[in-house]
Amino acid sequence: MNAVSARPASNPGAILSEHVLYAVLPWRRTKRAEIKVLLVAPRGSEQWSLLSGLPSSGKTPRQAAMSEAFEQAGVVGLLDANPIGCYSSQATPTEGSTVSCEVAVYGLKVRGTLTHWPGSTQYKRRWFRLDDAIQAVSNAGLKHLLASTGVNDTFHGAARKAAA
């Protein structure tokens, strides 16, 4: 896989790729004002990643991203109007095949976490400090996106507004 650095994605429709996934970066601010992000991994695995999925027919990119947050991790909250960035990845649409795809990432200020959620038997979830999340993921583009999120004005602007 070619490692492509993360890049802004102010217009998800402008992503030039045949295969697009929509992902969510759920986050919350702790009582100590520290930002934590939620990652998921398949049960029995330590391959931490963002909540992502293929767009569903009839859903907007934001709706597709929000559906993934609910289904894979049981989180609800305030979803950014535009993606905070994007990165390249490999997807496995069918067993034994992989395709290159672009992943458009939306920030999600988490307002609630469900105890029981649709994907709870398939996925585990864990809150990470941002620097620990960077170490936990293996995709180079996602690492770069997470690292740039630490200084991303859009992300921190949303975090400041949500905290107010």
Q: Are 73 and 127 in contact (CB under 8 A)?
A: no
Taking the C-alpha atoms of residue 93 and residue 6, their distance in angstroms, rounded to an integer, is 22
According to the model, what pLDDT value does residue 86 have? 92
Residue owning tokens 């107010």: 164
Report residue 104's pLDDT band, with 50, 70 and 90 as the boundaries. Answer: very high
Pick the CATH number of 12-156 from 3.30.310.80, 3.90.79.10, 3.30.565.10, 3.30.460.90: 3.90.79.10
Tell me if residue 1 falls in helix, strand or coil.
Answer: coil
Residue owning tokens 């989180």: 75
Q: Give 55's DSSP letter.
A: P
Tell me if residue 162 falls in helix, strand or coil.
Answer: helix
Pair type for strands 99-113 and 20-29: parallel
Taking the C-alpha atoms of residue 99 and residue 107, their distance in angstroms, rounded to an integer, is 25
Q: Give 121's DSSP letter.
A: T
According to the model, what pLDDT value does residue 111 have? 94
**pTM for the whole structure:** 0.79
Report residue 52's pLDDT band, with 50, 70 and 90 as the boundaries. Answer: confident
- Rg of the chain taking only CA atoms, in angstroms: 15
Residues 80-91, mean pLDDT to the nearest whole number: 88
Residue owning tokens 């909540």: 51
